[in-house]
Structure 1
Amino acid sequence: MAVRPCVLLAFALGASAVLTFTRNEAITASMGKVGVPGTWFPWLASLKAAGALGLLIGLGVPLIGSAAAIGVVLYFIAGRHPGGRRRGRLLSAGGGPAGGGPVGRK
C-alpha cells in the first residue's frame, strides 16, 4: 500500500525542513559547499515543509496528495537542473550518482 512510503517521505521531508529552518551545522555546511546562499534556507525549508504536510493531508484528500507529490518531484528535479550547478557539481553534498556522475567521480 502507498501509505507507508508516503508517510516515510513526509517524515524525511519534515525532518529536513526542521534541520534547514534551524540551520543545522551539517545541513548548512553541505549546502554551503555547493553554493546555496544562506538567504535561500528559509524558502527551501518552507517548500520541504509544505511538501511533507501536503503528502500527509493527501492520505485523506487524494487531489492534495497528488499535487504535493508533483511538487516534491519538481523540487528534486530543480535541484539537479544544470542551472543549479556550482563549480561543476550538482546541488548535492558529494560526487557519485547523486552528484550526477559515475560512482567515485569528484
Structure 2
Amino acid sequence: MLEYTIEHKYHPDFIKIINNKVIYLEAKGRFWDYPEYSKYIWIRKVLPEECELVFLFSDPYAPMPAAKKRKDGTKRSHAEWAKKNNFRWFSRDNLPDSWKDATD
C-alpha cells in the first residue's frame, strides 16, 4: 500500500493571538457536505501545538448534512460534531468579548 497526500492551503476567516496561542477562527453558517467538514480534521492534524482551530457557528444546533435521524427524531448538530471531534466552538451569543475584534 502506498499512502499519499494532496496539498491544500487553508485560509481561516480570522486569526487571533490569545495567551501566546494562535487561534484560527472559522465562521460557519453551516457545513454543506462530508468533504467540507472532514477537511477541518485534516487541518487540525497539521497545526503546530501553539495553534488551535476554533469554530464560530451562526446556528450551532443546525443539523449536519446527511445526518441520520436518531430514535428521538433529532439529528447530529454542528455543535455535537465539534464536541465529538474535540473542536472548541462558539456562537455569536457566547463568543468572548476579547475575541470580537478578531479582524486580523
TM-score by length of 1: 0.29
Bigger relative contact order, structure 1 or 2, given CA contacts below 8 A and separation 6+? 2
More helix per residue: 1
TM-score by length of 2: 0.30
